[in-house]
Structure 1
Amino acid sequence: MARQLKLTGKTQADLAEELKLTRAAVSAWITGRSVPRPTVMEEIAEALGTDVGTVHTRTTDTQVGLPVTWYHRPGYPDGGRDGGNAAAFAFDADVQVLARETCQNSLDERLTENGRPVRVRYTLHELTGEALDAFRKAILWDDLQPHYLAVSESASQQKVGRVVDAGVRDMFEKGRLVLLRIDDYNASGLTGDDYDDGKFAAVVRRQLESLKSGRGAGGSYGLGKATLWATSALGMVLINSTLSVPHEGRTERRVIGRLELPWRSVDGQSYAGPAWLGRPDPDTRGAEVARSWWADEETVERLHLTRDSDEPGTSFLIVGAHDVASLEQSTVALDADDEDGGDDDGTRDIRAMHRRLVEALGRDFWAAMTGGGSRLPLLETSVRSLRNGEVVIEEEKVDPTVAQPSRTRALRAFYDGTTVDRLTEAGQVALRTVPLRLPLSGGRRGTLGIHPAILLVTEAEDADGVSNQVHSLRGNRMTIKKSGVAGLPLGVNAFQAVLLAGHAAGESVPFAEEAEEFLRAAEPPEHDRWGQSEELTLRWSHSAHHRIARLTTEVNAAVKELVARPKRAGGEGGAKLRKALTVQRRTTPRRGSGQALPELDGLDAAIGADGEWRITAEVKLPRGDELPTMTPVVLLDVRSGSRPRLDWAELVAVDGCEVEDGVLRFTPHARRATFRGATDVASHPVRTALTRLVLELRAGKGSEA
Structure 2
Amino acid sequence: MEAGEEFGPWLARQLKIAGMTQAELAEELGLTRAAVSAWITKRSVPRPTVMGEIARALGTDLGTIHTRTTDTQAGLPVTWYHRPGYRDGGRDGGNAAAFAFDADVQVLARETCQNSLDERLVENGRPVRVRYTIHELTGEPLEAFRAAILWDELQPHYLAVSETAADQKVGRVVDAGVRDMFEKGRLILLRVDDYNASGLTGDDYDDGKFAAVVRRQLESLKSGSSAGGSYGLGKATLWATSALGMVLINSTLSVPHEGRTERRVIGRLELPWRSVEGRECAGPAWLGRPDPETPGAEVVRSWWADTETVERLHLARDSDEPGTSFLIVGAHDVASLASDKADSVIDEDENGGSEDDGTRDITVMHRRLVEALGRDFWAAMTGGGSRLPLLETSVRTLRNGEVVIPEEKVDPGVTQPSRTRALRAFYEGTTVDRLTQAGQVALRNVPLRLPLTGGRRGTLGIHQGVLLVTEAEDRDGVPNQVHSLRGNRMTVRKAGVSGLPLGVNTFQAVLLVGQAAGDSAPFAVEAEEFLRAAEPPEHDRWGQTEELTLRWSHSAHYRISRLTTEVNAAVKELVVRPKSAGSQENAKLRKKLTVQRKTSAPKRASGPTLPELDGLTAEIGAAGEWRITAEVKLPRADELPAMSPVVLLDVRSGSRPKLDWAELVAVDGCEVEGGALRFAPHARRAVFKGFTDVTSHPVRSEFTRLVLELRAGAQGSEA
Question: What is the TM-score when the length of structure 2 is the normalising length?
Answer: 0.86
Query: What letter matches 1:358 in structure 2?
Result: V
Distance change in 2, residues 1:486/1:309 (3 Å): same
Report if the CA contact (8 A) 2:517-2:524 is conserved.
Answer: yes
Q: Take 1:606 and 1:415, find their aligned partners in 2: how far apart are those partners?
A: 30
Report if the CA contact (8 A) 1:649-1:677 is conserved.
Answer: no
Deviation at 1:27, TM superposition (A): 3.0
1:664 aligns with 2:674: no
Query: What letter matches 2:687 in structure 1?
Result: T
1:281 aligns with 2:291: yes
Deviation at 1:170, TM superposition (A): 0.7
Of 626, 633, 641, 1:619 maps to 633
Give the equivalent residue in structure 2 for 1:687. Answer: none
| 1:60-106 superposed Cα distances (whole Å, 9 cap, x missing partner) | 11100000000000111111111111111000011111111111111
Of 34, 41, 57, 2:51 maps to 41
Q: Take 2:250 and 2:310, find their aligned partners in 1: how far apart are those partners?
A: 8
Deviation at 1:655, TM superposition (A): 3.1
Superposed counterparts of 1:8-157, under 5 Å? 8-157=18-167
Deviation at 1:605, TM superposition (A): 7.7
Report if the CA contact (8 A) 2:196-2:323 is conserved.
Answer: yes
Q: Take 2:467 and 2:595, find their aligned partners in 1: how far apart are those partners?
A: 32
Distance change in 2, residues 1:398/1:97 (3 Å): same
The more displaced of 512-521 and 667-676 is 667-676
Give the equivalent residue in structure 2 for 1:611. Answer: none
Superposed counterparts of 1:414-563, under 5 Å? 414-563=426-575
Report if the CA contact (8 A) 1:451-1:509 is conserved.
Answer: yes
Superposed counterparts of 1:295-334, under 5 Å? 295-334=305-344
Deviation at 1:660, TM superposition (A): 6.1
| 1:368-409 superposed Cα distances (whole Å, 9 cap, x missing partner) | 000001000000000000000000000000011111111000
Deviation at 1:621, TM superposition (A): 7.0
1:655 aligns with 2:655: no
Q: Take 2:490 and 2:34, find their aligned partners in 1: how far apart are those partners?
A: 56
Report if the CA contact (8 A) 1:603-1:615 is conserved.
Answer: no
Query: What letter matches 1:413 in structure 2?
Result: A
Q: Take 1:551 and 1:628, find their aligned partners in 2: how far apart are those partners?
A: 27
| 1:339-386 superposed Cα distances (whole Å, 9 cap, x missing partner) | 599642111100110000000000100000000010000000000000
1:167 aligns with 2:177: yes
Report if the CA contact (8 A) 1:619-1:674 is conserved.
Answer: no
Deviation at 1:573, TM superposition (A): 9.6
Query: What letter matches 2:370 in structure 1?
Result: V
Give the equivalent residue in structure 2 for 1:674. Answer: 687
Q: Take 1:230 and 1:105, find their aligned partners in 2: how far apart are those partners?
A: 16
Give the equivalent residue in structure 2 for 1:380. Answer: 392
Distance change in 2, residues 1:308/1:704 (3 Å): closer
| 1:309-357 superposed Cα distances (whole Å, 9 cap, x missing partner) | 0000000000000111233333333487995996421111001100000
Report if the CA contact (8 A) 1:629-1:701 is conserved.
Answer: no
Query: What letter matches 2:104 in structure 1?
Result: D
Distance change in 2, residues 1:488/1:163 (3 Å): same
Q: Take 2:415 and 2:138, find their aligned partners in 1: how far apart are those partners?
A: 33
Q: Take 1:650 and 1:485, find their aligned partners in 2: how far apart are those partners?
A: 24
Distance change in 2, residues 1:61/1:573 (3 Å): closer
**SS of equivalent residue, structure 1 residue 333:** helix
**SS of equivalent residue, structure 2 residue 396:** strand
Q: Take 1:668 and 1:217, find their aligned partners in 2: how far apart are those partners?
A: 37
Percent of residue pairs bearing the same amino acid type: 78
Query: What letter matches 1:672 in structure 2?
Result: R
Deviation at 1:227, TM superposition (A): 0.6
| 1:554-582 superposed Cα distances (whole Å, 9 cap, x missing partner) | 110111111112589xx9999x99xx999
**SS of equivalent residue, structure 2 residue 250:** strand
Give the equivalent residue in structure 1 for 2:701. Answer: none
Distance change in 2, residues 1:598/1:302 (3 Å): farther
Q: Take 1:19 and 1:598, find their aligned partners in 2: how far apart are those partners?
A: 97
Deviation at 1:153, TM superposition (A): 1.0
Q: Take 1:9 and 1:186, find their aligned partners in 2: how far apart are those partners?
A: 37
Q: Take 1:162 and 1:539, find their aligned partners in 2: how far apart are those partners?
A: 40
Deviation at 1:506, TM superposition (A): 1.1
Q: Take 2:427 and 2:51, find their aligned partners in 1: how far apart are those partners?
A: 56
1:360 aligns with 2:361: no
Report if the CA contact (8 A) 2:498-2:616 is conserved.
Answer: no
Distance change in 2, residues 1:464/1:696 (3 Å): closer
1:242 aligns with 2:242: no
Distance change in 2, residues 1:86/1:622 (3 Å): farther
1:390 aligns with 2:402: yes
Q: Take 1:669 and 1:287, find their aligned partners in 2: how far apart are those partners?
A: 69
Q: Take 2:235 and 2:44, find their aligned partners in 1: how far apart are those partners?
A: 41
Q: Take 1:342 and 1:676, find their aligned partners in 2: how far apart are those partners?
A: 39
Of 355, 361, 369, 1:349 maps to 361
Q: Take 2:216 and 2:682, find their aligned partners in 1: how far apart are those partners?
A: 41
Q: Take 1:349 and 1:694, find their aligned partners in 2: how far apart are those partners?
A: 36
Report if the CA contact (8 A) 2:596-2:710 is conserved.
Answer: no
Report if the CA contact (8 A) 1:453-1:501 is conserved.
Answer: yes
Q: Take 2:318 and 2:715, find their aligned partners in 1: how far apart are those partners?
A: 63
| 1:3-24 superposed Cα distances (whole Å, 9 cap, x missing partner) | 1110011122222333344434
**SS of equivalent residue, structure 2 residue 97:** helix
Query: What letter matches 1:619 in structure 2?
Result: K
Q: Take 2:225 and 2:484, find their aligned partners in 1: how far apart are those partners?
A: 18
Q: Take 1:148 and 1:69, find their aligned partners in 2: how far apart are those partners?
A: 16
Distance change in 2, residues 1:634/1:324 (3 Å): closer
Deviation at 1:159, TM superposition (A): 1.3
Give the equivalent residue in structure 2 for 1:603. Answer: 614
| 1:232-290 superposed Cα distances (whole Å, 9 cap, x missing partner) | 11110000000000001110000000000110011111110100000000000000001
Give the equivalent residue in structure 2 for 1:261. Answer: 271
Deviation at 1:32, TM superposition (A): 3.4
Of 223, 228, 236, 1:218 maps to 228
**SS of equivalent residue, structure 2 residue 494:** strand
**SS of equivalent residue, structure 1 residue 183:** strand
Structure 1 residue ranges without an equivalent (≥5): 609-613, 636-643, 683-692
Report if the CA contact (8 A) 1:634-1:646 is conserved.
Answer: no
1:201 aligns with 2:211: yes
Give the equivalent residue in structure 2 for 1:685. Answer: none
Query: What letter matches 2:402 in structure 1?
Result: E
Report if the CA contact (8 A) 1:194-1:200 is conserved.
Answer: yes
- RMSD between aligned residues: 3.7
Deviation at 1:634, TM superposition (A): 12
Deviation at 1:440, TM superposition (A): 0.6
The more displaced of 11-20 and 262-271 is 11-20
| 1:163-200 superposed Cα distances (whole Å, 9 cap, x missing partner) | 11111111111111000000000000000000000000
Structure 2 residue ranges without an equivalent (≥5): 1-10, 588-593, 620-627, 649-653, 692-697, 699-706
Q: Take 1:528 and 1:484, find their aligned partners in 2: how far apart are those partners?
A: 14
Deviation at 1:657, TM superposition (A): 2.6
Q: Take 1:518 and 1:479, find their aligned partners in 2: how far apart are those partners?
A: 16
Query: What letter matches 1:503 in structure 2?
Result: Q
Q: Take 1:634 and 1:230, find their aligned partners in 2: how far apart are those partners?
A: 33
